[in-house]
Amino acid sequence: MYCPPVVRAAILLSRDIMVQKSKDGNMTLRGFEGIFLDTILRALHRKFELVIADDNELGRLLPNGSWTGMIGLIQKGRADIAYNCLGITEDRVKVVDFSTVYEISKVTFAIKKLGMFTTPRAFIYSFDSTVWIITLLTLLIMPITFKLVLQVKETYFHLLIKLLQAILGKSLNIKEDSWKCRILINSWNIFSFIMAFCYTTALFSILTVPTEISTVKNFVELSNAVSKRGFKLLIAKGSATLNLLTHSEKKHLKLIGESISSHKWYMDIQTPLLTTPQIDTDSALLGLQKNLQMIAGPEEWKHHFLSDDSINTIPIALAMKKNFCYKRKLNTIISRLNSAGLYQKITSDDHFRKWLSSSVKKRVVHRETQALSLELLSVAFVILSFGLISGLVALFCEIYVSKMLKNV
């Protein structure tokens, strides 16, 4: 088998793989992907030539059967290998071979955090909207219930004020001493205590440690944000993930894929992630978790949210032409580098260096704290419901007994 003396490597110029020429004409690869590729090529002990994909695509199958990007360069015989976060897919395996997998990563998204709740509005954020609405409706309905069950002569407005005072800590002063009255009053007092205690606790926690405003957290919420609120989701051009989205059986994923295809939402792969304007509060980046972890996650210095939800887990490998004569040697080199953990070391070091060199070091802590929801206050509503049902049953029994006595 003929083995070429020069190995042609197809690459994409991006933030993770850059080419630097020295004065003597030698080329040096920069970025964590570039450093890892340079290590592989030097261990191969062969001269290499870099072939840059001018269309800035990883590799996308066209209707006529040809491929774009780096996969297309191999298909056309202009490159022997291709490297830059290439995922192994069923379609790509038909035209190229893949080396030993050197990384397995989830496909997820990152979006800018919305910031913290402001202290002047903390009294609103203690409960979520559902609890506020139900509590208000309960407060408006309870005076009518008291008038019907207890047959008190007080006006609706006076009863409303007394019930509100009970929530604020004042005793519920109603001149009625029947057992059904005690059931209703005690139920309302317990309900008021739980509501006031939960509200005070949540308010003090927000004032002490400000919580973060919740953003979209998964692909279902992201799909709703794309369709209803005009959010954008950007992806690398020629990525295999786009094909997976557009042909997905899940409606929310298919909607995202169709939106990306129709609007051509492609990310800028050359601008560093720490300074890119493409990721914002209403625009997210879709990519490999290992790459997005540099700017997004729970760490204090990361001011972008990284979703725990993922589309799939994709193996990353080096692509090569069919029957490539150095395939066995390449696999041996990559296996040894995997055993040494060199790829993870290069990646973490490069991410840390980029953070140190960045002028933006905003420190934001991401917390999964939320306003108190209906689930946390269900006990209070159960107690109140029990009191209401008991009072109504007592009223009906009293009416029934009175009618029986009249008949007698």
Q: What is the pLDDT of residues 132-167, one digit of tens each?
A: 788 888 888 888 877 777 776 778 888 788 787 777
pLDDT for residue 143: 81
More confident site: 342 or 24? 342
Please, what is the Cα angle at 32 between 28 and 36, to 5 degrees?
70
pLDDT 10s digits, 2-19: 677 889 999 998 888 888
SS3 state at 154: coil
Q: Is the pLDDT of residue 84 over 50?
A: yes
pLDDT for residue 384: 59
More confident site: 386 or 257? 257
Q: How far is 141 from 135, CA to CA, in rounded Å?
A: 10
Pick the most confident of 127-131, 261-265, 357-361: 261-265
Percent of the chain residues past pLDDT 90, beyond the cut: 29
More confident site: 210 or 343? 343
Q: Do residues 40 and 34 make contact, with C-beta atoms less than 8 angstroms apart?
A: no
Which structure tokens are listed for 351?
A: 């991410």
Among 214-228, 339-353, 354-368, 393-407, where is mean pLDDT lowest?
Answer: 354-368
Which structure tokens are listed for 360?
A: 């933006």
pLDDT for residue 367: 45
Average pLDDT taken over every residue of the chain: 81
pLDDT for residue 203: 74
- Segment 166-172 shows an average pLDDT of 73
Closest CA relative to residue 243, chosen from 230, 228, 258, 231: 258
pLDDT 10s digits, 280-317: 888 999 999 888 888 888 766 678 889 989 998 999 99
pLDDT for residue 258: 93
Confidence of residue 80 (pLDDT cuts 50, 70, 90): very high
pLDDT for residue 250: 92
Q: Is the pLDDT of residue 200 over 90?
A: no
Percent of the chain residues past pLDDT 70, beyond the cut: 78
pLDDT for residue 123: 64
- Segment 182-206 shows an average pLDDT of 76
Q: How far is 186 from 171, CA to CA, in rounded Å?
A: 11
More confident site: 137 or 122? 137
Please, what is the Cα angle at 261 between 256 and 262, to 5 degrees?
100
pLDDT 10s digits, 359-408: 554 444 444 445 445 444 555 555 556 556 665 666 566 666 566 656 65
